[in-house]
Structure 1
Amino acid sequence: MILTVTPNPSLDRTYELPGLNRGAVLRAAGDRVDPGGKGVNVSRAIAAAGHRTVAVAPLGGPEGDLLARLLAEHGIEAAGVPIAGSTRVNITLVEPDGTLTKVNAAGPEIARAEAERLLETVRARSAGADWIACCGSLPRGLPPQWYAELVALSHGAGVRIALDTSGAALIAALPERPDVIKPNAQELAEAVGRPLATVGDALKAAQELCGLGARSVLASLGAVGQLLVEPSGAYFATARADAVRSDVGAGDASLAGFLSSGGQGHTALRAAVAHGAAAVQLPGSVMPTPADLDPSAVVSTADVPLDLALTRQAP
């Protein structure tokens, strides 16, 4: 069982447009609403693969009620923590060529008592979990050290923890030695304070974060592929995506594939890349099912191609 924690969940509304013209009245060719937030997306991908998952998240207002109902429709148990504010709504506009315009709301402010109840819910629901995946930005009211508290709590319960966040919250959590962190290329560059031009640059940056406390790093490098750095070595994999429709939630699908395949080693990396490649070929933030995966499209190597530029565009 994989427990996910999403401190700032959302309802994700996606509109497919024939074109994006500023100032015009636009009619959507298609639209959908999905339960969102990075940890929620991980739960959705885990559930789509037929595994058990529990999603811990603060939920408030009619939007929070709808998010809980949508999770139930996906076969996900929601461990919701009631809050006074309303769950945020994010908007994604998709153009025919695959260009995405995203509008992410800030979300509600979390009170001190609500934050404590959130931690207590994680503690109570962690029994029997194989992994805890803590994902996304922190909402207003939660300090950068909050994820560090959560990592310490998870290890105290004897549960491995994956952390997918960025900025000050990521740096503050590293001394607590999260079992795996999952930055993208931009977040990795931000964490080490310099631009990254090649996979070799990303490898050095990931090794630095391991030196600061991360036990392993799973770095999403966009269309280039994914890099895994762990005590046993460094591995790289990429995959073909025939038709990119939306990259919303693709990184979350990758993390779900990685964790559900054991959370370490070459096999788990290949699963992560297969899940990410499948996700970008689906509309909105739809998570892939096993039928959507194409393991034959994954190319991997234990010898990281250090000179490969990080600017390759998606097909």
Structure 2
Amino acid sequence: MITTVTLNASIDKAYRINMPLTKGTVMRVAECEDSAGGKGLNVARAIAANGEPVLATGFVGGNNGHYLCELVARDGIRERFVRVRNETRCCINVLEPGGGSTEFLEPGRPVDRAELEDMMSTLLELANQSDVVTMSGSVPVGAGTDVYQRLVRLVREAGKPVILDTSGDYLMQGIRALPTMVKPNIDEIGQLLNRKIEGIDEVVSAARELHERGVEIVVVSLGAAGAIMACDEGIFRGYAPKIQAINPVGAGDTMVGSFAVAIARGMKGSESLRFAMSCASASCLSPHTGRFDTQVADDLFKKTAVEIIA
């Protein structure tokens, strides 16, 4: 089983409108789609799409929390969320004709110390039952900037692999607990190493340095240019095939979920990178975030190239 952690879950609402968004006017929504949001839940959907058993945890509260759990169940994902006093947030994405997108992201409402301790004890129980744990995204008010450091350390002390995918201070502090894998972009790995990273050679050097500091798998996203991975087997560069993306939102989350699957299945080096990249590319061809056709991923796997560069 793979456990995904989404501390700042949300009800995501996609509003499709038939005209350009105009400030200060009444806008009629032509179509509305609700989904269980938060990066960790995108990860959970990708894991489920790959056919692996997955369980989602994190914080939910109020009527929105009940509804979010219903949406998770509709996705065929089991959950063990920690119920909290405050309401789960909502996030809105207004989609215009021609591809324009405007997002309104609510902050996560506060959690208190008792609720955070409940999360710690729940995750410890789940980690002991899991093959891999993933942690993704932002956190609600009150959780503290060291929350991922505490959670990563807890899972590592349980002897289980953990993937951390976050940013800013949460990543800076979380990496001190040496997660099994991180997936920064170029700017984020530069922040971690306190220097500006430019060019592939510097990306490779940065990934190697972070790996040598004790992070077993470092994957640096290069967007359409692929990815760099540093691990015990060496340093690899992956090249994704050219595609006409339909919905690139959540492709990074699909990569995280697919790496969790690869770790659970015992894949190594180039095989795991090639597998995760092909799933991420397939997710870009699906209109639904975090979902993809595994047959499409299998076809893209054959067109995804990975070479060892160091």
Per the normalisation by structure 2, the TM-score is: 0.90
CA distance in structure 2 between the partners assigned to 1:206 and 1:96 by the alignment: 40
Residues in 2 aligned to 1:193 and 1:17: alpha-carbon distance in whole angstroms: 43
Distance 1:199 1:20, change over 3 A: farther
Q: CA–CA distance in 1 between the matches of 2:42 and 2:143?
A: 21
Where do 1:82-93 residues align within 5 Å?
82-93=83-94
Offset, 1:156: 1.8
Deviates more, 1:10-19 or 1:23-32: 23-32
Is 2:308 aligned against 1:302? Answer: yes
Distance 1:264 1:102 in 2: 38
1:287 equivalent in alignment to 2:288: no
**Map of 2:273 onto structure 1:** 269
What is the distance in 2 between the residues matched to 1:20 and 1:185? 33
Which stretch shows the higher mean deviation, 38-47 or 170-179? 170-179
- The code of the aligned residue for 1:298 comes to T
User: Take 1:63 and 1:203, find their aligned partners in 2: how far apart are those partners?
Assistant: 43
**What code does the residue aligned with 1:22 have?**
T
Is the alpha carbon distance of 1:264 and 1:5 closer, same or farther for their aligned partners in structure 2, counting shifts above 3 Å?
farther
When structure 1 is superposed on structure 2, of 93-102 and 139-148 the one drifting more is: 93-102
1:14 alignment counterpart: 14
Contact persistence 1:9–1:87 (CA under 8 A):
yes
Partner of 2:2: 2
Call closer, same or farther: CA 1:284–1:101 in 2, change over 3 Å: farther
* Letter of the 1:4 counterpart: T
1:208 matched to 2:209? The reply is yes
Q: In structure 2, what is the equivalent of residue 69 of structure 1?
A: 70
1-side partners of 2:307 and 2:90: how far apart? 40
- Equivalent residues in 2 for 1:105-254, closer than 5 Å: 105-254=106-255
- Contact kept, 8 Å, 2:49 with 2:294, in 1: the verdict is yes
In the TM superposition, residue 66 of structure 1 has moved relative to its aligned partner by 1.1
Q: Give the secondary structure class of the aligned counterpart of 1:261.
A: helix
* Range moving further from structure 2, 261-270 or 187-196: 187-196
CA deviation map 1:7-30 (0-9, x unaligned): 111122223445533325445554
Distance 1:267 1:27, change over 3 A: farther
Aligned-partner Cα distance in 1 for 2:268–2:97: 37
Distance 1:15 1:284 in 2: 14
Equivalenced residues, count: 304
Taking a change above 3 Å as real, the CA distance of residues 91 and 217 of structure 1, as seen in their structure-2 partners, is same
In structure 2, C-alpha distance between the alignment counterparts of 1:26 and 1:286, rounded to whole Å: 28
**8 A Cα contact 2:20 2:97, kept in partner:** no
Query: Structure 2: how far apart are the matches of 1:68 and 1:277?
Result: 28
Question: Deviation digits for residues 252-310 of structure 1, max 9, x if unmatched?
Answer: 10111112122641111011111111112222524213133122331222127xxxxxx
Conservation of the 8 A alpha-carbon contact between 1:166 and 1:191: no
Aligned-pair identity in percent equals 31
Asked if the contact 2:132/2:162 (under 8 Å) is kept, the reply is yes
Residue 34 (structure 2) aligns with: 33
Which amino acid in structure 1 is aligned with residue 8 of structure 2?
N
Tell whether the 8 Å contact from 1:185 to 1:222 is kept in structure 2 after alignment: no
The runs of at least 4 aligned residues of structure 1 exceeding 6 Å deviation read: none
Counterpart residue identity of residue 190, structure 1: Q
- Point out the more displaced range, 222-231 or 235-244: 235-244
Secondary structure class of the residue paired with 1:141 = coil
